[in-house]
């Protein structure tokens, strides 16, 4: 039995690298914004009561994308988990979710990583579960 054809390999390679490039853009933009805020010196990064929420987004999401570079399932679950806890936890403490789900696009690379891990031939075997 032959492995996947060249076209199929190219498709899965494209999915993986699209997820990696989008994740890299998100991580780089948050890193740049954080450094710019710290260098500005006028605005504090966050207040202490918001530390939990900031740990989830953007830092938790970014950590998930760094992990997903090598371990797609683990990194995607960390990123999606952080976004889910952010929305679910906000609802539990009485915050109304935004009408426009502005944070959903930040989960896009995680969905692509999960898609790659679940359906690409040999992805689970190469990277483990």
Nearest to 124 by CA among 111, 99, 116: 116
pLDDT interval class at 1 (50, 70, 90): very low
Cis peptide preceding 6, ω within 30 of 0: no
Q: Please report, for the chain, the start and end positions of each structural domain, with discontinuous segments joined by +.
A: 7-123
Write the pLDDT tens digit of every residue in 17-75.
999 999 999 999 989 988 887 777 765 656 666 777 778 888 899 999 999 999 999 99
Question: What is the reported pTM?
Answer: 0.82
């Amino acid at each position: 039995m032959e492995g996947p054809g060249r076209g199929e390999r190219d498709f899965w390679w494209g999915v993986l690298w699209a997820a990696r490039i989008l994740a890299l853009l998100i991580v780089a933009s948050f890193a740049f914004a954080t450094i710019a805020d710290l260098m500005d010196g006028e605005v504090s990064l966050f207040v202490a009561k918001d530390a939990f929420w900031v740990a989830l987004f953007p830092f938790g999401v970014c950590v998930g994308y760094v992990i997903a570079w090598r371990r797609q399932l683990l990194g995607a679950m960390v990123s999606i988990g952080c976004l889910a806890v952010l929305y679910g936890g906000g609802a539990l403490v009485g915050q109304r979710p935004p009408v426009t789900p502005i944070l959903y696009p930040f989960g896009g690379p995680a969905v692509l990583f999960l898609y790659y891990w679940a359906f690409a031939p040999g992805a689970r075997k190469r990277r483990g579960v």
